[in-house]
Amino acid sequence: MAVQTGKTLQSHFINTYNNLSVLGKVPSEELGVVLPHEHILVDYTTGLDTTTSFLNGRDVAGLPVTMENLGFTRRFMYSVRENVVLDEIEKAETEVGLYKTSGGGCICEMSVVGMRRKEHSFDDLARISKATGVHIVSTTGFYSESFLSAEIKTMSVQSMAELMKTEVAIGSGPMGLKCGVMYIACSDPLKETEKKALEAAAITHKETGVAIQVAPGRTTDLPFRILDRLYSYGVHGQAISMSHVDRAFSDCETNLKLMSDLCHRGCYINHSLFGKECSHYPCNEDFDFPSDAQRIARIKALVDRGCLDHLLVSHDIVCRNEWACYGGYGYGHMLDHIAPKFLNRGFQRATVDRIMRENPQRWLTCSEFR
């Protein structure tokens, strides 16, 4: 199908969009609890890390994900090849079904170009959604430059925008399934492809109204620079979510102020790594990964600073050891364990609902801010 551009594409989108899940229109109030950053079917082997010094040269890439290896796999989740691929459709149905049983309503599936399975098909997400009753929002966009092919790296800004607009407004696969959100992953310093992807996302947002999620690397100033860049392209802060803030900002007063400043500049911030509680962070050996309790304490401090309307939470499940069938918490962790902990730590029920329901629903339906 030829790519449609300009007013034709925008008109098509405006006539059909209402929080587009893989099964079609969903009124925002019917989404329920939303996990705004997860993976259901993904291939992260490009990010396989077998060089971390803590392995002491041990070759572990070929280890199976078994009970005997579970403790090791939890600590070095990105070093075991089998662990960084989620491709079992029936097990995915079971895992998403468990989330439904816990009270979940919607999952944003963030597997974009650079981390999609070779046999990637939005039709598989539709099958999982139908089988479980969970609304799944599929994602268009680009992962960080080191994950992308030479062909993608040579694309122009306009070509990248056309690809994303097509996946949003026209859809793909035999069923023409459409994407309802964008995701751009970035490095520090920003690579040229990532700069192009951010500009292309801004173009796509302004023509379609689809929200943007950004993975802003692992430094505390990059989210601000990315936000400035998106603002310069005319994107409204309510359309932007900065994901993975819990891998860059440590537990100190200075970083709490930075996160508060980021919220007050208008975007959402997503503590999107709940359930990852190993203090060893293989992607940055100098950084102590927080526990869920520390994440909750930080969110409470941000609420006290007036940031409630800008907070999102999720797990970023990307590895097998995070699925319940492989010994993990699964997608229900936020409802089964974190929501009760919020209440135990003095949050009001309405505050929890704001963070887990209302904020992500509002972010996903940001088209009014174009």
pLDDT in tens, 20-45: 799 988 888 899 999 999 999 999 99
Q: How many Å apart are CA 355 and CA 274, to the nearest integer? A: 14
Share of the chain above pLDDT 90, in %: 73
> pTM for this one?
0.92
Cα-trace Rg, the chain? 19
Which of the listed CATH numbers 3.20.20.140, 3.90.1150.10, 2.60.120.10, 3.80.10.10 matches domain 33-369? 3.20.20.140
Length of the chain: 370
Looking at the predicted structure, is the pLDDT value of residue 19 above 70? Answer: no
Q: Hey, what are 230's tokens?
A: 């998106």
DSSP 3: P
Give me the long-range contacts of 283-286 (CB less than 8 A, separation at least 24).
283/49, 283/78, 283/218, 283/247, 284/218, 284/247, 285/52, 285/53, 285/54
CB 211 within 8 A of CB 181: yes
pLDDT in tens, 178-226: 899 999 999 999 999 999 999 999 999 999 999 999 999 888 899 999 9
Torsion angles phi and psi, residue 56, rounded to 5: 55, 40
Give the per-residue pLDDT at 14: 37
Q: Which residues of 168-181 are buried (b: 16+ CB within 10 A; e: fewer)?
A: bbbbbeeeebbbbb
The amino acid that residue 166 corresponds to is: T
pLDDT in tens, 43-90: 999 998 877 666 777 788 999 999 999 998 998 899 999 999 999 999
Q: Where are the domains of the chain?
A: 33-369
